[in-house]
Amino acid sequence: MTSKELAKLLGVSPATVSMALNGKPGVNEETRRLVLDAAKTNHVSARALSASSVRTVCLILFRRKETLLSFSTFTNEVVAGVSETCREAGFELTTKQVFGMDALIAALTELSRSDTAGVILFGTDLIREDFPLLPKTAIPLVLLDNHAYSHPVDCVKIDNTSSAFAAVNFLIRRRKAQPGYLRSSFPLVNFTERQTGYEHALVYNGMSVNSAVVHDLLPSIEGAYADMTALLKSGVTPLPCYFADNDLIAIGAMQAIRGFGLRIPEDVAVIGFDDLGMSASTDPPLTTMHVPKYHFGAAAVKRLLTLIRDNSLFPIKIEMTANLVVRGSV
């Protein structure tokens, strides 16, 4: 009998069976006794299951909806880090694309009962109200690119606040002026944290948060271009410099600004966030905050492997700082 067969018989995950038989923490005593009794009855030992041990990790790519946010370049680099690190550790990676909370809840519930060692949830689109809805999984889970406030789950995320502070502080020092904020009109935890960093930089430099100029733009090149063009047509006078929530907003806004005959960076300087592949080839090349996307994914896998070995560990939050890449837009 395999671990999967025994798990199916008992209605638990194969990972739970493995931990119970091998005396590892992460399984309550009642479940452990249930597994051990069933293993004895069916003449199953930990050694017998070793050849069929669970070596699969599932990466869930969650999107609230199929459109609006376009992180394809960003996502691909992160997924490459996840995939390579799994391969090097001898784990097979499966990937699920999930749209909407109902589908996510169903996927996590199904994976808890499957022959899967652990889950990485790429949850950029999750908002704070979503986390209490997530089911408790019977297998280790690491949340990637988000932070589950008041919800006990391991996460690997960007240090958005400190990184945005560094970007805005650089902009202020370079331009000697209070920067405006090109804010995403689509709310995400990442963007909320970047706004906090933006405001901290203003205060640090003796500037007023209350007098800050904020333009809400869609977080895509086309959407930001259309929204910024509408603002300029309405008579809004551009500021000498802006911090944008992401590169897509920055690029779209720069196109709109240049379309009105203004020069970048001579008339208006712009700094973005993420350092997408296209950002180095915009006109002018975009100054931005570089997120180490490959290592971002790799760090999530390494934490998950630790949890697979010992699921009794307390949840931790790992934050990766973005680095400034100076190009021609500032």
Residues 264 and 173 in one domain: yes
What domain range includes position 217? 160-290
Residues 205 and 215 in one domain: yes
Residues 113 and 222 in one domain: no
Query: What CATH number did the domain enclosing 310 receive?
Result: 3.40.50.2300
Residues 43 and 62 in one domain: no
Does residue 185 fall inside a structural domain? yes
Residue type, 245: D
Number of domains observed in the structure of the chain: 3
Tell me 280's DSSP state: G
Residues 28 and 73 in one domain: no
Helices (H) and strands (E) in the chain, counts: 11, 12
Residues 181 and 273 in one domain: yes
φ/ψ region of 295 (left if φ > 0, alpha if ψ in -120 to 50, else beta) reads: alpha
Rounded to a whole number of angstroms, the CA Rg of the chain reads: 23
Q: Between helices 14-21 and 29-41, what is the axis angle to 10°?
A: 90
Q: What are phi and psi of 244, to 5 degrees?
A: -110, 145
Residues 269 and 183 in one domain: yes
Residues 298 and 281 in one domain: no
Q: How does pLDDT run along the chain (330 residues), one tens digit per residue?
A: 666 677 778 887 777 777 777 666 666 888 888 888 888 787 665 544 544 456 899 999 999 875 444 456 788 899 999 999 999 988 999 999 999 999 999 999 999 888 788 999 999 989 888 888 988 887 899 999 999 877 789 999 999 999 999 999 999 999 999 999 999 998 889 999 999 999 999 999 999 999 999 999 999 999 999 999 999 999 999 999 999 999 999 999 999 999 999 999 999 999 999 999 899 999 999 999 999 999 999 999 999 999 888 767 788 999 999 999 999 999
Tell me 38's DSSP state: H
Please name every residue paired with 244 in a beta bridge, in sequence order, or none if there are none.
Answer: 182
Provide the whole-model pTM: 0.81
Residues 164 and 284 in one domain: yes
